[in-house]
Each structure stands twice: as C-alpha cells, then as structure tokens.
Structure 1
Amino acid sequence: MLPDREKAFILLNEAYERNPGPWKNHSIVVAKCAYAISKQCEDMDEEKAYIIGLLHDIGRREGVTNLAHVIDGYRYLMAFGYDEAARICITHSFAIKDINTCIGNMDVSDIDLKEICDLIERYEYDDYDTLIQLCDSIALPEGPVKIEVRMNDVKQRYGCYPLSKWNKHIELKHYFEKKSGLDIDFLEI
C-alpha cells in the first residue's frame, strides 16, 4: 500500500520540519528522476515510482543518522500500513544485499541490525527497488548529475564507496538506459 502524492508530500514536509536539511530536496529530485525514467518503461507506474522516491529517506525525520535512517523510515511508514514505501526505505541503501556495503556508521542496535539484515535478505528486488537505488545515486539536492559525480560526492563525505556497490550502480544505470531508452547522464526532470 502507498499514500497518494499529496499525503506523501505532507509526510515529507512534516519530516523536514522535524529535521531540516538538504535531504528533502534530494528526495524530491529522486522522485522526479524516478518518475521521468519509469514513464518511459511500459511495465512501470510512474506515480508509484514518484511516491516511493519521495519517501525513500523519510527516516531522516529522526535526525542526522546513517544506517538508522533506513530502519526508522521503514518503521514509520509501516505504522501507516505503507508497506510498499517502507520496503524502499530499506532497499534503497543496499543495491548489493550485503550489510557491509553500508556507507557511514552502523548507528543501530544489534536488534535493529539483525532486522535490517533479515529484511534485505527477505526482499526479492524488483524494478522499483532498483530504480530508486539508481535515482538515489544520481540525485543531488540541486538536481540530477552524472552517476560518477554523485558517487564521488558520497565518497568524499563518508570517506568510502565500496567498489562492488559502485559497480552495481553503474550496472543499474545501463539496465534502465536500455529499458527506458533514456541517457541517464543527461536526464531532464
């Protein structure tokens, strides 16, 4: 289940009021990128793509965190019954189903870590999971950029970007370019 676009924006704005930061504009850019790409894919719903893109980082409402934002967002959206958006809170950070590809601190309890690992393992990724993984890797708060620019931005801020994750994001870019017929490096939103 998903909220409609209006409700998703209400949730995003409330979250931003709790924890202002560039993550809100980043989320809007992810949503617009997801919409633009999915609109060119016959088997995808661009409205769903927009909404899950908008809410992928909603866990940031709880403050400045690293890994914690995925479980915080998941639990927050599950409380509303928005399971489709909640799963994206988890999957958007793990293009590779390996907790060791986490960028930043593992600022969660052992119980939360186990839950995140169990959820990653349980989910069979579909094109919506991978689309948001891609869009997250091209979206700066100011707009979409070439994937290498965004991944270098993350690497510079956090000190690392696992090569396996980097390569997976490049693979996703090529997959969605073929699927959509778009040049993702020059995506217009």
Structure 2
Amino acid sequence: MAKSSRSETAKHRREIIGAASRLLREQGDSAISVQKVMGEVGLTHGGFYKHFSSKDELMNLAAEEAFSELIGVMQDVLESSTNKNDAWDNLVRAYLSREHREDRAGGCANTALATESARAGDGSAIRNAYIHGLAQTLEALKPFQDEASTAESEQERLQSLLILVGALTLSRATAGTELSDRVSSAAKALLLGS
C-alpha cells in the first residue's frame, strides 16, 4: 500500500509540474495561483505543500520542465530528419509555424519565460532556471550545425536563437494580423536563405 501511495504521490507531483509549466508559459507567474495549478490536475489546494515547499519552488520546476520539453522537441526533429540541413530546415519551419505561434501553453520556454526572468530579478529561482535553460537550448542547437564547435559557430547558434525567439515573440504579439505572418516569413528567409 505504501508503495502505491508513493507512486501516486510521484504521479501527482509530475502532473502538477506539467500543469504549472503550461500555465506559466501561457499566462505568466503573476496570473498563476497555487489553487489554479492544483485545480488543473483535479487536486485541492491543501495538498500542495505535500509536494512543494513554496510556489517559487514549483515555478522553478515548471520553468525547468518547459525547457526540457523544448530540448525534447529539438531532439525529435533531429532524429526524424535525414541529415543536418534537413533537420535545421524542419526545426526552423516548425518553430516559426502558426501552430507553434498559437500554442502558448506548450510553446518555446525561451520566448514565453523571457519576461518572467527579467521581472524576477537576480538570484531568483525562475531567473536561474531561465539562464540554465537558455544555455541548454544553445547546446541543443550544436548538432544542427555542420562545423566543429568554435567561437564562430557558437556566435552563429546565438544569432539563430535570437532570430527564432525574436520572430516568435513578434509574431505572437501581432497574431491574427498579416504582419504576424510576414514576421515569420522574414525570419525563415534569414535562417534558411530563401
């Protein structure tokens, strides 16, 4: 019975982190209450502290989860592509797609959490998670490049990420307008050379 209880507790903890990660990307930290997160997974507010010491701890874990999901998507694109050029094209097209633009809750952590990190301030858990996640994203871009790791290739990865995140941010900010699609198209042209 205790083993079942531990496994149920672990399952609930994963569900809570997943729900918080989606809400954090979609609505931001200030719009999220403990009660709201717990309600998303069908649990009561009272059980929160069985899983986490504070909302800050949960938001840190939610940010980490958001970056883990992004890295997983990048790995999936890489593994499902026939070569690095194909993989890069597929990644850029998926990242700058309408579907990704409209999926705020499941979208890129770099875009969704940048403002959260900036507002959180130095030393905060969410800012630390963001900085670590950004570094992980840059590392995950390495296999999409042909050349060995050099200062120049690191600079190219950073520039590519700047274009992707900036374009997605502007595209989301203008969603529903023709300008939104033009932003995505311009970024694709920069990154894919077309």
TM-score between the two structures when normalised by the length of structure 2: 0.28
Compare CA radii of gyration and give the structure with the larger one: 2
More contact order relative to length (CA 8 Å, sep ≥ 6): 1
TM-score between the two structures when normalised by the length of structure 1: 0.29
